[in-house]
Every structure is written in C-alpha cells, then in structure tokens.
Structure 1
Amino acid sequence: MRIAISYDTIQEYILENDLNESDSIILHPADYDNLAAEYAEENNIMIFRSFEILGIQVIEDTEDEVKKNQIMVVQMDTF
C-alpha cells in the first residue's frame, strides 16, 4: 500500500488495521526520517533510535525492502 507518510497517516493506519504491540512498522529511510522529524517536533523530543506511535514500534528499513510511501508491517517475533 502506498500512501503519503506522516504522523497522522501512521496513526490512522495503526487504528484502521488494528495493529497491536506485537506488530512493527518498517518504513523506507526517507519516510522514516521525515516521520521521525515530525514525531520529534510534535512531541518536543529528540530521537536517537526507533520510536513508537500508539505503542507500535516504527523502524527504518535497512534491508532496502520497503519502497518510498509504503508501509510494511511485521510481527516483532519475526523481526
């Protein structure tokens, strides 16, 4: 699924797809960087590693598997 990645769209995606704490979201590095910057600004914090939105871990794709504007969901025990 390809969508414009933002803090709001990730929250909507999590809720619409009923994700839980055993799921992780993996994003293209450019999308991850943009989302991390927006998340940090929204929450007035600095991010040094992966972070969580609504209890779901958001991870940067380091394996070059996720295309830009795409969301990959994996189970934590398989990652």
Structure 2
Amino acid sequence: MELDFNRFSKQSFQPFPVESTEPLKNAVGRREIKKDDTVLVVGRGGERLAFWMYQMTYHHVAQGKLAGEPYIVNY
C-alpha cells in the first residue's frame, strides 16, 4: 500500500487532540469501554496511554504529550 501524500497534506482526517487522560480502569468501570474492546497502547518514559480503537478508526491521528514530550500516533 502506498501513502497518498495529497490526502495526508490536506488533513483529510480530523486529528484527535489529547488534552487530558484518565486510568483505563475508570472508563471500563463506567462501561464506556468494554473489557473486550480493542485499544492501542503506546508508551514512553514509563508512562502509557491506551487509545480506544473505535476513536482511532474515526480520527486516525492522535496527538498530545507523553512523559513531557510531544507525540503523534496514527492508525
């Protein structure tokens, strides 16, 4: 599969700006995320973030800070 730079440069995907986080167990406890839902986990400097694949399938791009450094994750 080849990357379509025209689509990428036009920002066809609405980025998901991560401004706050919470423990995954809290979202599971409220049943916003089911125990068998798929998540994408990224880590840096001993910190981890889990992205709900339902959101990533829509946005395709998430960005924010992790361990004090900017990051961008795509799917």
- When the two structures are superposed, what TM-score results if normalisation uses the length of structure 1? 0.29
Bigger CA radius of gyration: 2
Highest relative contact order (Cα 8 Å, sep 6+), 1 or 2? 1
Structure having the larger proportion of residues in strand: 2
- When the two structures are superposed, what TM-score results if normalisation uses the length of structure 2? 0.30
